[in-house]
Amino acid sequence: MELPRYETLLVDADAGVLTVTLNRPDVLNAVNEQLSADLLDALRLAEREPAVRCLVLTGAGRGFCSGQDLRDRAGVGEVAYGESLRRRYNPIVLRLRTMEKPVIAAVNGVAAGAGCNLALAADLRVASDRATFIEVFARIGLIPDSGGTYHLPRLVGLAKAFELAYTAEPVDAAEALRIGLVNRVVPHDDLMPATLALARRLAEGPTRGYGLTKRGFNFALGATLEATLAYEADLQTIAGRTADHREGVTAFFEKRPPRFEGR
């Protein structure tokens, strides 16, 4: 797979895992116009490329992502916010959520504002013990955008979501784990090895089945039980036709581990 070069990202592909590293370490990987365009492009690549079976999103340097770059005029100002979200951030969040492959955020440091909410839009979060999460918006009178109002209450419950959004206080890694904001916390130096081990395992999994699982969760978050059950029946019909399903059943009867190919 030919990997593109980006001004604001590092990308690396290995063993079915595409690792995308936000790479503006001097500004804690703040999102400027270029970075949002690069990230959307990289997400399209990850979605389109069959060799990519798991996506890891992380940050270079001390921070994961400090959110909108307030020095970048394109995204700041009373008129610019709505337009900037619709054009730049919303497509990124939607793509993370609808891409039918596992997405893991490896949160290496501060994740603030839109940066925090990008991490929340991933399927799974592995955090360094130095990671902090800040819904910083209230400090400047704004609301948790980039999917924050959607994901935050679903992850931590409404009461905790209000607390984090209203106080805009940092949540450290241990607290994030306790309230269900992240899946795991690991010592800082273990972050990438631990995340990549998980990512490689998922990249060897039944990618279509994972993708359909994600589609099912997305649907169920906005639907009734009755509609969800009907939807599950459709998804299972599709999953039942995959080569990986046949391989899984065959491997079960042959008492060996399955070799999934992601189709």
Partner 1 sequence: MTYANILIEHDDAIAVVILNRPKVLNALNRATMDEVVTALEALDHDDAVRCIVLTGSERAFAAGADINEFAAATPVEMLAGYRFQQWERIRQIAKPVIAAVRGFALGGGCELAMLCDMIVAGEGARFGQPEINLGLMPGAGGTQRLTRAVGKARAMEIILTGRQVTAAEAYAMGLITRVVPDEVVVETAKDIARQIAAKAPVAVRLAKDAVLAAFDTTLEVGLDYERKLFYLLFATEDRQEGVRAFLEKRPAAFRGR
d(CA 248, CA 258): 5
d(CA 127, CA 104): 10
Q: Count how many residues are written for the chain.
A: 263
Give me the least distance between CB of 230 and partner 1, in Å please.
9
What tokens appear for 73 in the block? 């005029």
Q: Decide whether 61 or 231 has the Cβ nearer to partner 1.
A: 231
Give me the least distance between CB of 179 and partner 1, in Å please.
32
Residue 220 binding partner 1, by CB under 8 A: no
Q: Decide whether 200 or 215 has the Cβ nearer to partner 1.
A: 215
Segment holding 124, helix H or strand E: strand 124-128
Residue 167 binding partner 1, by CB under 8 A: no
Tell me the chain's radius of gyration from C-alpha atoms.
19
Give me the least distance between CB of 231 and partner 1, in Å please.
8
d(CA 201, CA 204): 5
* Helices 90-98/114-121 angle, 10° precision: 20
Q: Decide whether 12 or 234 has the Cβ nearer to partner 1.
A: 234
d(CA 91, CA 108): 24
d(CA 114, CA 24): 15
User: By CB under 8 A, how many residues form the interface with partner 1?
Assistant: 6
Q: Decide whether 83 or 234 has the Cβ nearer to partner 1.
A: 234
Site string (228-247) toward partner 1, x via CB under 8 A: ---x--xx-xx---------
**DSSP-based three-state secondary structure for 161:** helix
Give me the least distance between CB of 245 and partner 1, in Å please.
14
d(CA 39, CA 181): 23
Give me the least distance between CB of 241 and partner 1, in Å please.
8
Q: Decide whether 218 or 250 has the Cβ nearer to partner 1.
A: 218
Among positions 27, 80, 215, 228, the unique one binding partner 1 when judged by CB under 8 A: 215
Q: Decide whether 85 or 238 has the Cβ nearer to partner 1.
A: 238
Give me the least distance between CB of 223 and partner 1, in Å please.
11
What tokens appear for 23 in the block? 């790479």
Site string (175-214) toward partner 1, x via CB under 8 A: ----------------------------------------
Residue 250 binding partner 1, by CB under 8 A: no
The one-character DSSP state at 147 is: T
The b/e string for 191-219 (b: 16+ C-beta within 10 A; e otherwise) is bbebbbebbbebbbbbbbbbbbbbbbeee
Give me the least distance between CB of 23 and partner 1, in Å please.
32
d(CA 176, CA 254): 42
Residue 155 binding partner 1, by CB under 8 A: no
Give me the least distance between CB of 126 and partner 1, in Å please.
30
Note the residues at the interface with partner 1 (CB under 8 A): 215, 231, 234-235, 237-238
